[in-house]
Amino acid sequence: MKDRIIIFDTTLRDGEQSPGASLNNKEKLEIAKQLETLRVDIIEAGFPISSEGDFDAVKTISKKVKKVSVCALARAVKKDIDAAYNAVKYAKKPRIHVFLATSKIHMKYKLKKAEGEILKAAAWGVKYAKRKIKDIEFSPEDASRTDKKFLYQVLEAVIDAGATTVNIPDTVGYATPYEFGSLIKDIKENVPNIDKAVISVHCHNDLGLGVSNSLAAVSGGARQVECTINGLGERAGNASLEEIVMSIATRKDIFKFKTNVKKNQIYKTSRLVSKLTGMLVQPNKAIVGANAFAHEAGIHQDGLLKERRTYEIMRPEDVGFKETKLVLGKHSGRHALRARLKKLGYTLSDKEIERAFTRFKKLADKKKEVFDEDLATIVEDEIGTASEIYKLISFYILSGNKVTPSATVTLKHEGKTLVANSTGDGPVDACYKAVEKITGEKPRLLSYNLNAVTAGKDALGEVAVRMKIGKEEMNGRGASTDVVEASLKAYLDALNRLKSLN
Ligand code: KIV
Ligand code: ZN
């Protein structure tokens, strides 16, 4: 049987450190449940000492996720390890991940500690955590810039103290593939007790090498890879889970390993993470971008029709990304919709199917062709919406290059119909100002992104916004063939989510 690469997902910890990607606890649990369905091996659910919210999220995920390990991060100090333990102890398979920087630059300027003190603190942290939980991971932060001899010493000491996984982070994304693969080989050869621990890697993407470095490390002997959905993470992000998993699966001739990941859940997971974090996926992103399986050139299309493998190294359906083709039309019924959605990985209740069906019919009336991406978008838009504290009833806009744009918006709130009008810098701004008049809330709009779900003039527009009221930030999404309507829906989605926090 093939050896297995352990997939450690850190979307909810390092991924959530992406600027602008913060999630509330309900959203974190939703992602954790999907990661469980995706069958990653370990979910790093958060850094419990960092905030009360993070502590609660790790605790909730530990209670609700039972099929995969749940991990909590801690510095090598008592209060962090206690918090990590108290949050993760409810998990069926709990893990504590202790980290401490070991590079000269971090020790001198950040920690102001000498090598001897770091060595002691690292071993102490692991020993203390081990008294609470069996499964302990240790990371020498900035390992790729750490003096090798010192790195070997630290690894030996933490394995002696009880670490069962030693993770080698390329914290600042500085390493190159050959160098990083060699580092893993050197660790295998120079740390005397290395056979008592799994070697893991955690690569950042500052030079765009996160995935390449992780794969080079696998070839060098690493057996756990830390990664995130859509490559989210601090600064330029982490190695992307979907790229790692599909590289291993596609190049079986090179990587003679398997993973436990259910590949047909990849696309759905990517969309969910994108929706909840508000971080749109670039169209040309490998594996999950809208263009990842789109063929434009005539020569390519001709080749594909003759033999798919001429230009396709993976089948889109393998990652749950159905070929972009006409799937349903105006005359399709509920059964066809249910069956198609099931194929796309959505199992909905009768009530949800009914709502999705109504949306689908409206879309099919407006749009000549309905693609799988459209179906996924309307389902997520319809089913994923927060309780509709403010519900959009209608809007009218007057806009043009010679008039001041104005909008009249009608919302339903607590059984009452409320109407307001406003002018603005454009039709979207006018609508948002009208909503402000109705709700009395003046959120700060932190970001606004508009994306076409498929090609064509009649494509669904998907809007993602991030807004702030007081200290709370929230993402919202909306989709429609009308971009002003999509914008209003996204705004109300974020507002309703913020309101339902209280
Ligand atoms: O990048 C890093 O070094 C980390 C550690 C906490 C593993 O995220
Ligand atoms: Zn990191």
* Whether residues 220 and 108 fall in one domain: yes
Where residue 218 falls (left for φ over 0; alpha for ψ -120 to 50; beta otherwise) is alpha
> 330-356: string of b/e by CB count within 10 Å (b at 16+)?
eebeeeebbebbeebbbebeeebbebb
Q: Kindly state the helix (H) or strand (E) to which residue 27 belongs, with its residue range.
A: helix 25-38
* Whether residues 373 and 396 fall in one domain: no
Contact 431, 407 (CB under 8 A): yes
* Whether residues 340 and 376 fall in one domain: yes
* Whether residues 95 and 176 fall in one domain: yes
* Whether residues 201 and 257 fall in one domain: yes
* Whether residues 38 and 170 fall in one domain: yes
Contact 415, 470 (CB under 8 A): no
Domain annotation covers residue 80: yes
Residues 221-239 pLDDT 10s: 999 999 999 999 999 999 9
Domain annotation covers residue 1: no
* Whether residues 351 and 312 fall in one domain: no
Question: Confidence class of residue 301 from pLDDT cuts 50, 70 and 90?
Answer: low
User: From CA 274, how far away is CA 473, in angstroms rounded?
Assistant: 16
Domain annotation covers residue 180: yes
**Ligand 1 atom 5: the closest Cα is on which residue?**
141
* Whether residues 76 and 44 fall in one domain: yes
Residue 360 has pLDDT above 50, yes or no: yes
Instruction: Decide: helix, strand or coil at residue 239.
Output: coil
User: From CA 485, how far away is CA 381, in angstroms rounded?
Assistant: 13
Residues 372-405 pLDDT 10s: 778 878 887 777 655 789 999 999 999 999 999 9
Show the tokens assigned to 255: 């990587």
* Whether residues 339 and 440 fall in one domain: no
CATH number at residue 464: 3.30.160.270
- 99 Cβ below 6 A of ligand 1: yes
Domain annotation covers residue 288: no
Show the tokens assigned to 69: 């390990």
26 by Cβ neighbours in 10 Å (0-12 / 13-18 / 19+) ranks as middle
* Whether residues 19 and 91 fall in one domain: yes
User: From CA 2, how far away is CA 142, in angstroms rounded?
Assistant: 31
Identify the CA nearest to 161 among candidates 112, 100, 80: 100
Domain annotation covers residue 221: yes
Name the least confident of 149-158, 180-189, 339-348.
339-348
Domain annotation covers residue 329: yes
Ligand nearest to the CA of 76: 1
* Whether residues 374 and 426 fall in one domain: no
Q: Answer with the one of 302, 317, 332 that is the final residue of a domain.
A: 317
Q: Answer with the one of 317, 333, 367 that is the final residue of a domain.
A: 317
- 487 Cβ below 6 A of ligand 1: no
**Ligand 1 atom 4: the closest Cα is on which residue?**
171
Residue 475 has pLDDT above 50, yes or no: yes
Sign of CA dihedral 270, 274, 277, 282: positive
Identify the CA nearest to 282 among candidates 420, 469, 445, 451: 451
Provide CB contacts within 8 A for 267, sequence distance 6+.
288, 319, 320, 321, 345
Helices within 440-478 (DSSP H only): none
Mean pLDDT over 304-330 rounds to: 75
Show the tokens assigned to 161: 């103290």
Residue 420 has pLDDT above 90, yes or no: yes
Residues 33-82 pLDDT 10s: 999 999 999 999 999 999 999 999 999 999 999 999 999 999 999 999 99
Give the pLDDT score at 153.
Answer: 98
> Is the pLDDT higher at 371 or at 193?
193
Contact 471, 374 (CB under 8 A): no
Residue 325 has pLDDT above 70, yes or no: no
**Dist. CA 120 → ligand 1 center (Å):** 20
**Dist. CA 239 → ligand 1 center (Å):** 12
Instruction: Decide: helix, strand or coil at residue 462.
Output: strand
Place of tokens 């001897």: 116
Domain range holding 102? 6-277
Show the tokens assigned to 439: 């709700």
Q: Kindly state the helix (H) or strand (E) to which residue 212 belongs, with its residue range.
A: helix 210-220
Domain annotation covers residue 194: yes
Q: What is the best residue among 10, 11, 14 to mutate for testing ligand 1's pocket, by most ligand atoms within 8 Å of CB? A: 14
Terminal-residue alpha carbon distance, the chain? 52
Q: Which of 68-72, 295-299, 366-370 has the highest mean pLDDT?
A: 68-72
User: From CA 368, how far away is CA 481, in angstroms rounded?
Assistant: 11
- Check residue 459 and report its DSSP letter: P
Q: Answer with the one of 383, 415, 432 that is the final residue of a domain.
A: 383
Residues 80-119 pLDDT 10s: 999 999 999 999 999 999 999 999 999 999 999 999 999 9
Q: What is the best residue among 102, 171, 174, 200 to mutate for testing ligand 1's pocket, by most ligand atoms within 8 Å of CB? A: 171
Q: Kindly state the helix (H) or strand (E) to which residue 349 belongs, with its residue range.
A: none
Q: Kindly state the helix (H) or strand (E) to which residue 31 belongs, with its residue range.
A: helix 25-38
Number of domains in the chain: 4
- 14 Cβ below 6 A of ligand 1: yes
- 202 Cβ below 6 A of ligand 1: yes
Please provide the average confidence, as pLDDT, over all residues in the chain.
Answer: 91
- Angle at the Cα of 43 from the Cα atoms of 41 and 49, rounded to 5 degrees: 150
* Whether residues 31 and 162 fall in one domain: yes
Domain annotation covers residue 238: yes
User: From CA 214, how far away is CA 348, in angstroms rounded?
Assistant: 37
Cα dihedral value 24, 18, 211, 380, nearest 10: 40
Name the least confident of 183-197, 204-218, 386-400.
386-400
Contact 390, 438 (CB under 8 A): yes
